[in-house]
Amino acid sequence: MDDINYNEVLISGIINVITDTNGKYIKFGLTTNKYTLNEDKKVYVSLNISRELFNTYQDYFIKGNKVFVKGYLNSYIDQNKKIQSFITVTNISNNPTDFIKGRNSPHIRYDPDGVMVWNGKRCEAIPPTKEELIEMENLLKDFK
């Protein structure tokens, strides 16, 4: 029999903290619920997300927002010889159907300065040069 291991995690919760360590990853925490037969307890989960993925979906990262996360379990042994576990995020959304049916559109948001961001890339408006303006006017003069 093959030794099959699964390390994928699907979790949802409310963002409770966001910490920029100025490294490759941004750390954040989720509060979710642990349901057992007799009790309803809060569970706190630590997650890491790559800076690139964070920048693409940074509008989700507001304390109190509910998010749906896909990732894998990761851990390390700290200097006190204790195991520290966290989830490394591979996908995040504010909509659970993005994981069930897949994303079918780009992620669009606006930076605080009003510039549209398309899948994490700013769509800057570049004003035309005088020569380009004259050329466009010449191309459009028949339609005026």
pLDDT over 90 at 126, yes or no: no
Q: Where are the domains of the chain?
A: 1-104, 106-144
User: What letter would DSSP give residue 137?
Assistant: H
Name the CATH superfamily, with its identifier, for domain 1-104.
Answer: Nucleic acid-binding proteins (2.40.50.140)
Structure tokens at 10: 């699907």
Residue 85 has pLDDT above 90, yes or no: no
Rg (CA), the chain: 22
User: For 27-79, how does the pLDDT look when each residue is reduced to its tens digit (9 = 90+)?
Assistant: 999 999 887 767 778 889 999 999 989 988 988 999 999 999 999 998 889 99
* pLDDT in the model for residue 64: 95
List the structure tokens of 47. Answer: 């997650």
Confidence of residue 143 (pLDDT cuts 50, 70, 90): confident
